[in-house]
């Protein structure tokens, strides 16, 4: 196996729900250059981006009964692991372990966040230190929306909101709500 296609999976864990996966084919070879993988996580939305292109959007629809990670301390995790039984086009592509070791590098790792100090009002405030809560970060810009649609149209390979079999024709509530 060549290593391609390169698949990126995201998931959002909220209030005990851990079945909100999406997968895309990357439109580039991630082994050739470094790329910027980022997450904007605020009171309004969680946006996963690759080279500043939004690839995943999870809106805060808590007012409509949709789980959104907002009450508990939060974390972001990035990992590379063997998902060849399910993540690689449904197990079609297997890892050739004889080609190992496999090495991944992370650099310029940066977090700009609101450290928990026991008072949730501080982190929810719109202030100069909490730039991510400002009005301009409540939704995608028109340019970001175009890129987001492009990713979904040309690179999306799995969206839990389309998996009627998995959810037995009872898709999660957010699947019927606006994406942005």
Identify the CA nearest to 161 among candidates 178, 143, 137: 178
pLDDT value for 167: 96
Residue 58 · residue 67 · CB < 8 Å: no
pLDDT value for 87: 63
Which residues in the chain come in under a pLDDT of 50? 1
pLDDT value for 162: 97
Overall fold of domain 7-176:
Jelly Rolls (2.60.120)
pLDDT value for 103: 79
pLDDT value for 89: 67
Question: What are the sequence ranges of the domains in the chain?
Answer: 7-176
pLDDT value for 100: 84
For residues 130 and 92, what is the distance between their CA atoms, to the nearest angstrom?
Answer: 44
For residues 76 and 28, what is the distance between their CA atoms, to the nearest angstrom?
Answer: 24
Q: What is the pTM of this model?
A: 0.87
């Amino acid at each position: 196996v060549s290593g391609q296609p390169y698949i990126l999976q995201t998931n959002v864990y909220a209030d005990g729900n851990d079945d909100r996966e999406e997968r895309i084919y990357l439109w580039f070879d991630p082994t050739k250059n470094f790329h910027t993988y980022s997450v904007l996580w605020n009171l309004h939305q969680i946006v996963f981006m690759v080279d500043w292109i939004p690839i995943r959007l999870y809106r805060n629809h808590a007012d409509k009964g949709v789980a959104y990670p907002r009450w508990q301390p939060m974390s972001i995790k990035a990992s590379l692991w063997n998902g060849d039984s399910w993540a690689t086009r449904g197990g079609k592509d297997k890892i050739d372990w004889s080609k190992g070791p496999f090495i991944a590098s992370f650099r310029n790792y940066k977090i700009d966040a609101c450290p928990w100090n026991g008072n949730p009002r501080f982190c929810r405030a719109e202030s100069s230190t909490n730039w991510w809560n400002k009005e301009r970060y409540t939704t995608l810009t028109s340019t970001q929306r175009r890129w987001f649609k492009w990713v979904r149209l040309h690179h999306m390979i799995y969206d839990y909101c389309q998996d009627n079999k998995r959810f037995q024709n009872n898709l999660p509530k957010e699947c019927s709500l606006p994406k942005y």
